[in-house]
Amino acid sequence: MHPWTRSTIPAAVLVALAALPAAAGAQTPTRAAAPQAAPVVEAKYVLEAEGGVGTTFVDKQKWSGTILPLSDWNTTAYAGNARLFFARLGSLRIGAEAGYNYFWWYTTGAAGTPYTYGPHATRVGPVVRAGLGRRMAVDGGAAAYIFPGGTDYGVNAALGYFIPVGRQLSLPIKVRGDLVFDPSTTLASVLMLVGLSYRF
């Protein structure tokens, strides 16, 4: 009789079925580990330039230093700024800012002949930035406001929204306020600014 009898055939089938999972596991390829994303490195420096328009709030009579009423005035303000952030202090960026403010103009006849004055100043000082999420930031600074007739000191702050236009460039849109402490009276200006920010 052939060695594969009826009694040995079922046993051989069971042995073959038991060996299938082990053989399948041996042939299953091991999934390679997913590559990790490279860490995002923040820019070391931020260079910005911007300009805009707004309005000035001031006691016009005190600023002019005259007794006679002003014959005309306009409190439209203009400003241009440039700043460089070059250091970090925790989550804050530290930098320096320079700019120009044209605050307002007025006409007075106190000297006998009508004359128009336009208070304006060059500004320099330190600035600090705190991020408010991925696209917003608040700046704060102190500055020397150098007028033609002397230097005043003041503070400033700005809230900005940054629209990305590339990996390193963005368009900041800001609301900014400057407060200047002059011996005659305090001058304040509020401006809307648009500019360009470059991170490198």
Give yes or no for residue 14 having a pLDDT over 90: no
What count of other Cβ atoms lies within 10 Å of the Cβ of residue 121? 23
Give yes or no for residue 29 having a pLDDT over 70: no
Beta strands in the chain (DSSP E): 46-57, 72-74, 76-89, 92-102, 105-108, 115-117, 120-131, 136-147, 150-164, 169-181, 186-199
pTM of the model: 0.77
pLDDT (average), residues 43-51 = 95
DSSP bridge partners of 139: 129, 158
pLDDT (average), residues 49-69 = 94
CA angle 188, 74, 187 (to 5 degrees): 15
**Candidate from 18-22, 40-44, 125-129 with smallest mean pLDDT:** 18-22
Provide the residue range defining the domain that includes 195: 46-199
Whether residue 1 lies inside any domain: the answer is no
pLDDT (average), residues 68-76 = 93
Domains in the chain, number: 1
Confidence (pLDDT) at 16: 45
Give yes or no for residue 8 having a pLDDT over 60: no
Give yes or no for residue 1 having a pLDDT over 80: no
Separation CA 152–CA 186 (nearest Å)? 10
Higher pLDDT, 124 or 10: 124
Whether residue 33 lies inside any domain: the answer is no
Whether residue 38 lies inside any domain: the answer is no
Residue ranges of alpha helices (H) inside the chain are 8-27, 60-64
Whether residue 22 lies inside any domain: the answer is no
The tokens describing 167, both together, are: 């990996």
pLDDT (average), residues 150-178 = 97
pLDDT (average), residues 8-15 = 44
Higher pLDDT, 112 or 57: 57
Give yes or no for residue 140 having a pLDDT over 50: yes
pLDDT digits (tens, 9 = 90+) for 81-129: 999 999 999 999 999 999 999 999 999 986 678 889 999 999 999 999 9
How much is the mean pLDDT over the chain?
A: 85
Whether residue 26 lies inside any domain: the answer is no
Whether residue 3 lies inside any domain: the answer is no
pLDDT (average), residues 17-38 = 48
Whether residue 176 lies inside any domain: the answer is yes
pLDDT above 70: percentage of residues in the chain: 78
Confidence (pLDDT) at 112: 73
CATH of the domain at 112: 2.40.160.20
Whether residue 86 lies inside any domain: the answer is yes
